[in-house]
Amino acid sequence: MSNHGTSGGNNSFNSNINNSGYEKRGTGKLIRNGIIVTAVDTYKADIRVDGGIIVEIGLRLEDQGAEIIDASGCYVFPGGIDPHTHLDMPFGGTVTCDDFASGTKAAAFGGTTTIIDFCLTNKGEPLQKAVARWHDKALGKAVIDYGFHLMVSELNAEVLEELPVIMEKEGITSFKVFMAYKHTLQADDGTLYQTLKVARKHGALVMVHAENGDVIDILVSEALSAGKTEPIYHALTRPPELEGEATGRAAYLTELADSQLYVVHVTCAEAAWKIQEARKKGLRVYGETCPQYLLLEQSALEKPNFEGAKYVWSPPLREAWNQDVLWSALASGDLQTIGSDQCSFHFKGQKELGRGDFSKIPNGGPMIEDRFSLLYSEGVRKGRITLNQFVNMISTASARLFGLFPRKGTIAVGSDADLVIFDPNQERTLSAQTHHMKVDYSAFEGMKVTGEPVSVLVRGEFVIRDKQFVGTPGYGAYLRRDSFRIAEQVRVPERIPTEEGII
Ligand code: URP
Ligand code: ZN
Ligand code: ZN
> pLDDT tens digit string along 439-463?
999 999 999 999 999 999 999 999 9
Amino acid of residue 346: H
One-character DSSP codes across 308-377: GGGG--SSPP--THHHHHHHHHHHHTSS-EE---B----TTTTGGGGTT-GGGSPP-B--TTTHHHHIII
pLDDT score, position 141:
98
Closest atom of ligand 1 to 118 CA is 9
Q: Whose C-alpha lies nearest to ligand 1, atom 8?
A: 314
Q: Whose C-alpha lies nearest to ligand 1, atom 5?
A: 364
Closest atom of ligand 1 to 84 CA is 9
Distance 134 CA to ligand 3 centre (A): 16
Q: What is the dihedral of CA 145, 265, 247, 386, to 10 degrees?
A: 90
Identify whether the C-beta of residue 216 lies closer than 8 Å to the C-beta of residue 183: no
Cβ within 8 Å of residue 484, ≥6 positions away: 173, 174, 199, 203, 204, 205, 260, 401, 403
pLDDT score, position 6:
40
Which residue out of 266, 340, 341 has the highest number of ligand 1 atoms within 8 Å of its CB and is therefore the one to mutate?
341
Per-residue pLDDT tens digits for 153-176:
999 999 999 999 999 999 999 999
Which residue out of 262, 363, 371 has the highest number of ligand 1 atoms within 8 Å of its CB and is therefore the one to mutate?
363
Is the minimum distance from the CB of 149 to ligand 1 under 6 angstroms? no
Q: Considering every ligand atom, which ligand is closest to the CA of 208?
A: 2
Per-residue pLDDT tens digits for 50-108:
999 999 999 999 999 999 999 999 999 999 999 999 999 999 999 999 999 999 999 99
Q: Considering only CA atoms, which of 129, 276, 262, 127 is closest in space to residue 196?
A: 262
Is the minimum distance from the CB of 354 to ligand 1 under 6 angstroms? no
Per-residue pLDDT tens digits for 310-356:
999 999 999 999 999 999 999 999 999 999 999 999 999 999 999 99
Average pLDDT, rounded, for the chain: 93
Closest atom of ligand 1 to 312 CA is 1
pLDDT score, position 20:
34
Task: Give the β-pairing of 35-37 and 461-465.
Answer: unpaired
Closest atom of ligand 1 to 363 CA is 1
Per-residue pLDDT tens digits for 344-377:
999 999 999 999 999 999 999 999 999 999 999 9
Amino acid of residue 470: V
Neighbours of 99 (CB within 10 A): 18
d(CA 500, CA 494): 16
Closest atom of ligand 1 to 181 CA is 8
d(CA 286, CA 283): 9
Per-residue pLDDT tens digits for 208-249:
999 999 999 999 999 999 999 999 999 999 999 999 999 999
pLDDT at 11 over 70: no
Q: Output b/e per residue, 259-284; b: 16+ Cβ within 10 A.
A: bbbbbbbbbbbbbbbbbbebbeeebb
Q: Output b/e per residue, 320-359; b: 16+ Cβ within 10 A.
A: eebbebbbebbeeebbbbbbbbbbbbbeeebbbbbeeebb
Cβ within 8 Å of residue 400, ≥6 positions away: 409, 487, 490, 491
Q: Considering every ligand atom, which ligand is closest to the CA of 91?
A: 1
pLDDT at 25 over 70: no
pLDDT at 24 over 90: no
pLDDT score, position 298:
98
d(CA 393, CA 276): 17
Whole-prediction pTM: 0.94
Helical residues (DSSP H) of 402-497, grouped into ranges: 484-489
Is the minimum distance from the CB of 314 to ligand 1 under 6 angstroms? yes
